[in-house]
Amino acid sequence: MKKKVFSLLLAGALAVGALTGCGEVEQTSDQAEAPVTESPVTEAPAAETPATDSGDKKITVGATPVPHAEILDNVVKEVLAEEGWELEVVVFQDYVLPNTSLEAGELDANYFQTLGYMNQQNADAGLHLAAVAGVHIEPMGIYSQKYTALADLPDGASIGIPNDPDNGARAVDLLVQKGLLVSNGGFGTDAGVTEDTLSKDTAANPHGYVITPLEAANLPLSLPDLDAAAINGNYALEAELPAKYPALDIEEFDDETSIKRTNFLVVKDGNQNSEKIQALVNALKSDKVKAYIDETYKGAVITSFIDPQ
């Protein structure tokens, strides 16, 4: 099946947080509006009313390239074919069109976003979307080209973190979680605490690590100049870090953070129980998908087969 590729030129900026993952994705207030489709938006039927597929055996899903479209094309398509379904994957390079296209009925589902982003889009853009199944998390990992274990990091080592507030705080929490820092020292909650003050805080940072903020997307490129860096899963994958320099350690999740960081399959509200969506959910949550994710992404993507809360 020939893959369609859509791109959207935005006048504003898209801010990417935790996710959308493709990890967790957030939209800035000055972002340009998506083009208005000529198809009128009608009120979605009640969620408990199953949609009728009328014998249609083709499922069209919008996704961003890595890892979402890869998972769909490389394993889900085959699983669905065994059950008599045809899967068409439409690849988007942005985070707006997959939702507006779903709202307009041009897609059966999309797969790229967290619950937080979906809920924000429903509220801000007046969409009627619903999550039906969690699939995966792209955990932040600690990577290094110089060391092969966290214990090998010397006192005073330079550790890169993303320079945006959400991912920066997430990275510092990861350093605390893995014992490199004793506490976050108020970073992310106290406006007076910066990377520089955290680097000099001997109580929170007894090893004197130099916390170095950089653009999240540039951290893989800067890794040779750092002793280590906390890098979002999608950027680590794009740089092929899991294959070249496997993470020294990755985030661990409790129930609350699992829900927050999971990427979900999303449909227009009312279609949750349709035959094709249930077939798609079963394929995405199959053992073959789990094995593919484990073998392909080596910890940069982990399965999170959970239901939306």
142-186 residue pLDDT tens: 999 999 999 999 999 999 999 988 789 899 999 999 999 999 999
The model carries a pTM of 0.68
Strand, helix or coil for residue 292:
helix
Does residue 203 surpass a pLDDT of 90? Answer: yes
CATH number belonging to domain 4-139+258-303: 3.40.190.10
Q: Provide the pLDDT for residue 20.
A: 45
Max intra-chain CA distance, the chain: 66
Q: 127: burial class by Cβ within 10 Å (0-12, 13-18, 19+)? A: buried
Does residue 226 surpass a pLDDT of 90? Answer: yes
Does residue 26 surpass a pLDDT of 70? Answer: no
Q: 34-38, 75-79, 144-148: which has the minimum mean pLDDT? A: 34-38
* Residue intervals in the chain for CATH 3.40.190.10: 4-139+258-303, 141-252
272-287 confidence digits (pLDDT tens) = 999 999 999 999 999 9
pLDDT tier at 235, thresholds 50, 70, 90: confident
Query: In this structure, is the dihedral angle defined by the CA atoms of residues 85, 91, 95 and 99, taken in order, positive or negative?
Result: negative
Q: Is the peptide bond before 67 cis (omega within 30 degrees of 0)?
A: yes
By C-alpha distance, which of 262, 294, 264 is closest to 138? 262
Virtual torsion, Cα 94, 99, 101, 103, nearest 10 deg: -170
Q: Provide the pLDDT for residue 54.
A: 53
Contacts of 266 (CB under 8 A, 6+ apart): 99, 102, 109, 110, 111, 113, 118, 129, 130, 131, 132
Q: Provide the pLDDT for residue 217.
A: 87
Mean pLDDT of the chain: 85
Q: Provide the pLDDT for residue 7.
A: 37
Q: Provide the pLDDT for residue 211.
A: 98
CATH homologous superfamily, domain 141-252: Periplasmic binding protein-like II (3.40.190.10)
Does residue 10 surpass a pLDDT of 90? Answer: no
* Strand pairing class (86-92; 4-6): parallel
CA distance 180 to 163: 19
pLDDT tier at 238, thresholds 50, 70, 90: confident
CA distance 79 to 122: 31
Q: Provide the pLDDT for residue 35.
A: 34
By C-alpha distance, which of 264, 279, 281, 266 is closest to 110? 266
